[in-house]
Structure 1
Amino acid sequence: MKDEEKFEMIQREVKQYKQQSSSFKKVFKPKNNISAASFQVSHTIALYGKPLSDGDYIKEAFKRCSEMLFEDFPNKSDIRKRIDELPVARNTVKDRIIAMDKDVTDQLLLDLRSAGMFSIALDESTDVTSSSRLAVIARFPTGNIMKEELIKLMSLSEKTRGQDVMAELKKVFAELGINMQKIVSVTTDGAPSMVGKHVGFVQLLKQELKRSFVEFHCIIHQEALCAKSLKYLQSVVTIVTKIVNYIAAHALNKRQFSNLMNACESEFSGLLLYNNVRWLSCGNVLHRFVELLEEVTLFLAEKNQNYHELSETMWLNDLHFFADFTMHYNTLNTKLQGCGNTALSMFGHVKAFEKKLAVFSTDLEQGKLKYFPQLLKHFTRTDLAHEQRQIALNKYSLLTKEAKDVMSERFVQFREMDATLQFILSPHTIQFENLVLSKFEWLGLSNLEMEMIDFQESAIWKTKFLDLNYHIQKVEANAEMDSSDSSATECRVENIILSEWNSLPNSFETMKRFAVALLTLFGSTYSCESLFSHMNFIKSSARNRLSSDMAAACIKLKTTEYKPRIARLAEKMQQQVSH
């Protein structure tokens, strides 16, 4: 065969191969898109915490609406065929969720391992099957973003002692390749198993790391304990709970009371049941009870139920006072909630509330009741002698002072770190002598003092952080006016601060490292509590057979900020269509 003939034959074979390859791609791509669409459906099911079997009815709904939605499309039969081929059976959705969970975990571990430091928040709870679950959430920097991510939702087989938590954490960190020596701080709910002096988890972790670190008792839990310690509050709550349970926990009484409220044209739909676990429950229950006090009194009279407290002046005074006072605590609690809050800002809210308590006490002493609207309304409607009113006000003023004293005795760890926490926003004014560095020595801060001197003597860098503080004030003001945008990642205050520190030159490397370490600190275990709420929704009594690993995968996808790389996962997946 001549060379020209050989060359022609080779060209023909190459051309034929390319045509076959092109045809293969045309056949392969739609099915690849089907796998990607299957991943999207599975991801949506996980995001909304729905049962894995919901894929079937999503597909059925899609098929039915497509008959009308694509009625005027010339290729409507192809569209319907493609929908029919979509694999979303329960086991398929399960496999897709497991694959996406692994993918986001890989992304998390890549960032966490490359981070120079991180802090953790831990909390333990039980699911609907009474299994003990331990949530471990990490807070770490990646670029100009501070992330809060679930490392793993672990299962504790039997006991939940400090040594059990420590053993499980060590095992999981070893499996995932996470360096425990990078831990800056640990935040817990203050349970004995976590903070016990000898065998608590925190103490055992110190022994493991052979060094000290920052440890915080969740600031929200401490605030809730302060609210529960109020004198006379429990006696008021006990009576209110009995009355509310009589009305709202019995179906007939609840319906009859609802009809009474409709007849009275009330703006409320009913009373609220008290839940001792929920942080805001007490204040909300008392406030609603006071708002519906007339309707409650009338209803109980019709039912011949005698609660003599409802006719006692002093008890009614206490009721209205605590309805106002607990709502002030609720306002503080709400400010402390949320992910991404710095320990500095959270403790700032607590310090501000302590000052407000002094104002409340003065307000009560003077009898103006500017900050106690329910109590003022009650006194206005009640024919109470001036002397009796003054006795009540003096009592409440004293209670407010005692509440302030209780708060001043708590948050010890935050008070010790207060001046140090100021460093992240005020490095141009903070004095080196005021910094608590004993728990950060492992970061290598030997040059910190020299760098601070250079920094504070430079007008450029001082101006930079003055501008930063002004910018943060504007961001927080805008967030209050438009709460819908307050959770946007780029607008979170912690990320604005982190970005500003990262923009400093390397001549301030030690200062930058110290500031980033302070930014990683968890002020509360709110992220853990929020995660457990998702857990109870996903693994509910109706879905109690959901395995712990599968529930953990669903929770991870629901709570993570990482996005599963669906196109990448679909390419690796063997192409299958629904039969």
Structure 2
Amino acid sequence: MTEPLAKKNKARAFQPSWTEDYGFVYVKDRAVCTLCYDNVVCRTSSIKRHFETKHDKTYKDPAERAEAVKRAVARYGKQSSSLKVFVNSQGHVTEASYNLASCIAKHGKPFTDGEYVKEAFLSCAETLFDDLPNKDTIKTRIKDMPTSARTVQRRIDEMAVDVRAQQTKGLTDASVFSLALDESVDVNDIPRLAFRSLLEEMDSEYADLPLHSAVRWLSCGKVLERFVSCIDAIKVFLAEKGQQYPQLEDEKWIVKLFFLADITGHLYELNLRLQGAGQTVMDMFETWTAFVAKLAVFSGDIASSTFRYFRHLREWSSQRNISTAEIAEYMRELETEFTNRFVDFKSSPLWVTKFAELRKQLESTPVQQHGAYILACWTSAPEKFGCLKSIALALLSVFGSTYLCEQVFSHMKSVLSPIRSRLTTDNSESCLQLKVTNYKPQIRKLSKEKQGQGSH
């Protein structure tokens, strides 16, 4: 039975001579007549019968017949090539429209900005591509790109669905994951919200600061730093205006002011280190531990009146003697406050008990065998220390702060601005998700699934 099947397949294989003799081309397992575009089974008898039945009377002269077949085959090839180019160009145009919609969502812009971007692009293309031979082709592609508000909205919704699918798969495949949850109950225009809004307007990297001031974008430390640096000029200015502030002449008050400027500067640096996305709880714990250690050094610096880490106090004390008793007491209270704030986290046995067994085993082995033993332990970690690895992954998955939640609140305010009051819940959710997610929508996959449709 194998031999007859092979003969059948060979008989139905497309023969190049059919193109030259009868004007047939091979398309998707079928022979297509380029003269009338009918489909015929790949068999010599069928092809010959088709030509003799439909075209033999039209082309009786052999030379005329050969010329007609040649022209028909060439015309079909040109049409197929043009169609392929059109389909490819439409695919590129569709993919470009997805990229444009993604950019609009990432920047929290209205759907109608798509037309504005196209207009700007076409305006630039007049001169930007003026020296290129395919300038008109480029402009045509730009014009064909669908950028209407409705199209941009659909693209954003589709990309959000794709991102959610990726996220769901990621959560399903993950061995552990954590959630960062926060809530906003502030509805009044209080200083904290005003401060956040100001940071948003300035496109600040940070959504908020744990220690903040309602004075412009400056932190408390920067405000005090500026005030202390200008204190002599401030005294002169107030004297000229006839305003009296006895505190500015009180040396004890001045010492406290200078100390406050210095210590707030250190707290400001801590704030910066604790801000930002992507920090694990371990990163933040290490930052906090390092700062607590610094506080002990600062206390010793104050007690010895060296003021190595307190620049303003050092400059002030170089001209006069100052009492540090009250400042030293404050430093002790500050150190106690920082230590107590994370006492539960620090005292948790989770950090040490899981390593106790390994340490005991290492101590019971000769020193020269430690390297080999450690290597053997970590080589067999998946089987022997599965619990330990799970704990490590769980710790690494914990969010260090609610920084991302604060960012979402800020972005939500931008997306749900009064000028976008017609957004539906689904639309706003899609816009917000694409704005804050780290997942990349599979634009090429989506564009291939979408039938190309030019701008209209």
Q: TM-score, normalised by structure 2?
A: 0.70
- Going from structure 1 to structure 2, the CA distance change for 1:106 and 1:85 (only over 3 Å counts) comes to same
- State which of 285, 291, 305 in structure 2 corresponds to 1:367: 305
Conserved 8 A contact 1:344-1:421: no
From the CA coordinates, give the structure whose radius of gyration is larger: 2
- Going from structure 1 to structure 2, the CA distance change for 1:8 and 1:100 (only over 3 Å counts) comes to farther
Alignment of 1:421-500 (within 5 A): 421=351, 430-432=355-357, 459-460=371-372, 462=374
Name the aligned partner's letter for residue 158 of structure 2: A
Equivalent residue for 2:161? 102
Equivalent residue for 2:20? none
- Going from structure 1 to structure 2, the CA distance change for 1:537 and 1:396 (only over 3 Å counts) comes to farther
Please give the alpha-carbon distance, in whole angstroms, between the structure 2 residues aligned to 1:379 and 1:548: 62
Alignment of 1:496-515 (within 5 A): 504-515=381-392
Name the aligned partner's letter for residue 459 of structure 1: G
Equivalent residue for 1:170? none
- Give, in angstroms, the shift of residue 369 of structure 1: 0.7
Equivalent residue for 1:408? 339
Name the aligned partner's letter for residue 329 of structure 2: L
Name the aligned partner's letter for residue 574 of structure 1: Q
Query: Alpha carbon RMSD of aligned pairs, Å?
Result: 4.1
Equivalent residue for 2:144? 85
- Give, in angstroms, the shift of residue 541 of structure 1: 5.6
What SS does structure 1 have at the residue aligned with 2:184?
Answer: strand
What SS does structure 1 have at the residue aligned with 2:452?
Answer: coil
Structure 1: gaps of 5 or more residues: 131-220, 229-240, 242-271, 435-448, 466-500
What SS does structure 1 have at the residue aligned with 2:183?
Answer: strand
Equivalent residue for 2:350? 420
- Give, in angstroms, the shift of residue 305 of structure 1: 4.8
State the percentage of identical aligned residues: 37
Structure 2: gaps of 5 or more residues: 1-39, 52-68, 190-207
Please give the alpha-carbon distance, in whole angstroms, between the structure 2 residues aligned to 1:286 and 1:571: 58
- Give, in angstroms, the shift of residue 22 of structure 1: 5.5
Conserved 8 A contact 1:128-1:544: no
Matched, 1:522 2:399: yes
- Give, in angstroms, the shift of residue 116 of structure 1: 2.0
Please give the alpha-carbon distance, in whole angstroms, between the structure 2 residues aligned to 1:550 and 1:395: 58
Matched, 1:61 2:101: no
Conserved 8 A contact 1:360-1:397: no
Equivalent residue for 2:54? none
Conserved 8 A contact 1:129-1:544: no
Matched, 1:321 2:264: no
Equivalent residue for 1:47? 106
Please give the alpha-carbon distance, in whole angstroms, between the structure 2 residues aligned to 1:32 and 1:53: 22
Equivalent residue for 2:19? none
Conserved 8 A contact 1:49-1:537: yes
Name the aligned partner's letter for residue 370 of structure 1: R
- State which of 272, 277, 280 in structure 2 corresponds to 1:334: 272
- Give, in angstroms, the shift of residue 291 of structure 1: 2.7
Alignment of 1:241-390 (within 5 A): 273=215, 281-301=219-239, 303-380=241-318, 384=320, 386=321, 389-390=322-323
Name the aligned partner's letter for residue 253 of structure 2: W
What SS does structure 1 have at the residue aligned with 2:98?
Answer: helix
- Give, in angstroms, the shift of residue 70 of structure 1: 1.1
- Give, in angstroms, the shift of residue 422 of structure 1: 6.1
Equivalent residue for 1:4? 44
Return 58-67 or 23-32, whichever deviates more.
Answer: 23-32
- Give, in angstroms, the shift of residue 7 of structure 1: 4.2
Conserved 8 A contact 2:96-2:145: yes
Name the aligned partner's letter for residue 569 of structure 1: L
Q: Deviations over 1:104-132 (max 9, x none)?
A: 111111111121221111011269899xx
Please give the alpha-carbon distance, in whole angstroms, between the structure 1 residues aligned to 2:394 and 2:317: 52
Equivalent residue for 1:260? none
Q: Deviations over 1:138-197 (max 9, x none)?
A: xxxxxxxxxxxxxxxxxxxxxxxxxxxxxxxxxxxxxxxxxxxxxxxxxxxxxxxxxxxx
- Give, in angstroms, the shift of residue 504 of structure 1: 4.5
Please give the alpha-carbon distance, in whole angstroms, between the structure 2 residues aligned to 1:539 and 1:509: 46
- Give, in angstroms, the shift of residue 19 of structure 1: 7.9
What SS does structure 1 have at the residue aligned with 2:181?
Answer: strand
Conserved 8 A contact 1:43-1:557: yes
Name the aligned partner's letter for residue 6 of structure 1: S
Q: Deviations over 1:342-388 (max 9, x none)?
A: 322321222222221121111112111111112222344xx64x3xx
- State which of 72, 96, 109 in structure 2 corresponds to 1:37: 96
Please give the alpha-carbon distance, in whole angstroms, between the structure 2 residues aligned to 1:44 and 1:503: 46
Conserved 8 A contact 2:382-2:389: no
What SS does structure 1 have at the residue aligned with 2:178?
Answer: strand
